[in-house]
Amino acid sequence: MWDFETDPEYQADLDWADAFLREEVEPLQYVLPHALQKEHPIWQELVPPLQREVRARGLWATHLGPELGGPGHGQVKLALLNEVLGRTPMAPIVFGCQAPDSGNAEIIAHYGTDEHKAKYLQPLLNGEMFSCFSMTEPQGGSDPKEFTCSAVLDGDEWVINGEKWFSSNARYAEFLIVMVVTEPDNPPYQRQSMIIVPSDTPGINILRNVGHSFGGGEPGRGTHAYIRYENVRVPKDNLLGGRGNAFVVSQTRLGGGRIHHAMRTVGMSKRALDMMLERAVSRRTQGELLSKKQLVQEMVADSWIDLEQFRLLVLRTAWRIDRYKDYKRVRGDISAVKVAMPGVLHRIASRALQVHGSLGITEEMPFMDMISNAYHLGLADGPTEVHKVTLARTLLSNAKPADGLFPSMHIPAAREAALAKYADVLERVGDA
């Protein structure tokens, strides 16, 4: 029942993925202009053959169930694979499971028409298209009730007007799933809808592509689009999930998306720990290796404990998703994972940086990128604070108030009950 071992057959797949990543995928980041710039000749030359190898091995898009052409491995096996893939940003693209496409595919699979599935879902699953999820607005992201970007029906078309902020990958996407107010008079959670918008539709104006402040790069080379939708017209049938149902639809993608990020974060954190270990046994100071210093040993030990605790939480949550097949039932677990995730990566990457000294802070090592990524993980898909509240509310909703004035575990009452329960024993042998 309780088992921490991977079956040998799947372990062979994981070992294959590990070696394949090291030899074929990790080098890509140094030669590709951008992971998503698939029309580039270098991308076209190098990436599709690797994707074919992954398919041949049966590891393509393993987050998908058999109904969508996936192997139906489930979340626990996916977690183990994602731990490997988390080492390098290019890996999910080579293995067909990158965000936000994996989540967008889930939405279309659940809510799309046959035509949507042929036009958008199949190419996404085949790795022939990239997509974008356009929800956050410049005036606020944590509270979707604040969104104002709207769509009104004009004959057989929706006409979209408004702004969206941080629409990741919009510049490389063939279509966007946009969250828009369509029912302004409904209660707050039933005012918005999801609409598919092909990215060549007139009126989609990318005001700028925002990048992360660490990592340099020229302004405008970022991937998070600030978009103004101006009289963007799409067919009425591009609606996903019915009018006013955007909140329900978005939960389809966010539950899975959050846990998949966490699985990859285990991989990235493990990479930082491995680098810390290597440096500790390589670098000398005061006539001895860094690994001999107790304060360095403390960093190593704390990092391992951080990582393994988090990994167990992620695997247990994955197991519960497989077991219950109901994201609502594991909402609190996923929020717990989401809350823990940025801190674990931040702490381990920071310690690894510290152990590498001045080299650690340079662009010649990946630690500042990892730390920047930790902030990303604490914001995207909802900030940490919101998930703490979700978790707390889940736990509190199952709690029962005490019967009387004092807590049910109040020691005087427990002692009194014990004295009453064993009164005859105490009377018989109490003085012995």
Ligand X SMILES: Cc1cc2nc3c(=O)[nH]c(=O)nc-3n(C[C@H](O)[C@H](O)[C@H](O)COP(=O)(O)OP(=O)(O)OC[C@H]3O[C@@H](n4cnc5c(N)ncnc54)[C@H](O)[C@@H]3O)c2cc1C
Could you give the CA distance from residue 301 to residue 309 in angstroms, rounded to a whole number?
12
Residue 265 or 303: the one with the smaller Cβ distance to ligand X is 265
Interface segment toward ligand X; rule CB under 6 A; list 250-258, 381-389, 391-399, 417-425: 381-389
Binding mask 136-155 for ligand X (x = CB under 6 A): x---xxx-------------
Binding flag, residue 317, ligand X (CB under 6 A): no
Say if residues 18 and 91 touch (Cβ distance below 8 Å).
no
d(CA 414, CA 315): 38
Strands 224-235 and 239-240: unpaired
Which region, judged by CB under 6 A, interacts with ligand X, from 23-31, 134-142, 236-244, 312-320?
134-142
Stretch that binds ligand X, among 116-124, 333-341, 357-365, 380-388 (CB under 6 A): 380-388
Cα 347 to its chain centre, rounded Å, is: 18
Shortest Å distance, C-beta 377 to ligand X: 8
Minimum CB–partner distance for residue 169 and ligand X (Å): 7
Nearest residue (beta carbon) to ligand X: 141
Torsion of CA 214, 220, 224, 225, to 10 degrees: 160
Q: Which of 133, 172, 175, 247 binds ligand X (CB under 6 A)?
A: 133
Residue closer to ligand X, measured from CB, 277 or 379? 379
Cβ proximity to ligand X: between 181 and 380 the closer is 380
Nearer to ligand X, 29 or 113 (CB): 29
Question: What's at 318, amino acid-wise?
Answer: A
- Beta-bridge partner residues of 180: 193
Site string for ligand X, 348-377 (x = CB under 6 A): ----------------------------x-
Report residue 155: phi and psi, to 5°.
Answer: 65, -125
> Which residue number, 59 or 378, has a Cβ lying nearer to ligand X?
378
380 binds ligand X, rule: CB under 6 A:
yes
Q: Tell me how far, at minimum, the Cβ of 379 lies from ligand X, in Å.
A: 4
Kindly give, in sequence order, each residue whose CB lies less than 8 Å from that of residue 296, ignoring residues fewer than 6 positions away: 280, 290, 355
In sequence order, what E strands does 107-266 have? Answer: 131-134, 150-154, 157-168, 175-181, 192-198, 204-210, 224-235, 239-240
In the complex, the smallest distance separating the C-beta of residue 382 from ligand X, rounded to whole angstroms, is 5
Q: State in angstroms the smallest separation of the CB of 126 from ligand X.
A: 22
- For position 265 contacting ligand X by CB under 6 A, the verdict is no
- Does residue 332 touch ligand X according to CB under 6 A? no
Q: Which of 135, 69, 57, 59 is nearest to 105 (CA)?
A: 69
Which of the residues 61 through 100 are near ligand X (CB under 6 A)?
A: 100
- 10 Å CB burial of residue 184 (0-12, 13-18, 19+) is exposed
Question: Which of helix, strand or coil describes residue 352?
Answer: helix
383 binds ligand X (CB under 6 A): yes
Q: Are 181 and 167 in contact (CB under 8 A)?
A: no
How far apart CA 380 and CA 227 sit, in angstroms, is 18
Beta bridge pairs of residue 192 = 181
Number of residues in contact with ligand X under rule CB under 6 A: 19
Q: Which of 277, 365, 368, 379 binds ligand X (CB under 6 A)?
A: 379
Q: Quick one: 115 or 385, whose CB is closer to ligand X?
A: 385
The yes or no reply on residue 206 touching ligand X (CB under 6 A) is no
Judged by CB under 6 A, the residue of 385, 410, 417, 419 near ligand X is: 385
Nearest Cα to Cα of residue 257 among 41, 63, 405, 94: 63
Site string for ligand X, 165-184 (x = CB under 6 A): -xxx----------------
C-beta closer to ligand X: residue 132 or 273: 132
Under the criterion CB under 6 A, does residue 102 sit at the interface with ligand X? no
Which C-beta is closer to ligand X: that of 300 or that of 378?
378
% helix, strand, coil for the chain, step of 5 = 55, 15, 30
- Smaller CB separation from ligand X, 100 or 241: 100
Does residue 214 bind ligand X (CB under 6 A)? Answer: no
Write the Ramachandran bin of 192: left for phi over 0, alpha for psi from -120 to 50, otherwise beta. Answer: beta
Which residue number, 35 or 380, has a Cβ lying nearer to ligand X? Answer: 380
Nearest Cα to Cα of residue 175 among 224, 119, 219, 217: 119
Task: Name which position in 382, 387, 390, 391 contacts ligand X (CB under 6 A).
Answer: 382
C-alpha 227/C-alpha 180 separation (Å) is 13
Chain residues in the site for ligand X (CB under 6 A): 100, 133-136, 140-142, 166-168, 224, 376, 379-380, 382-383, 385-386
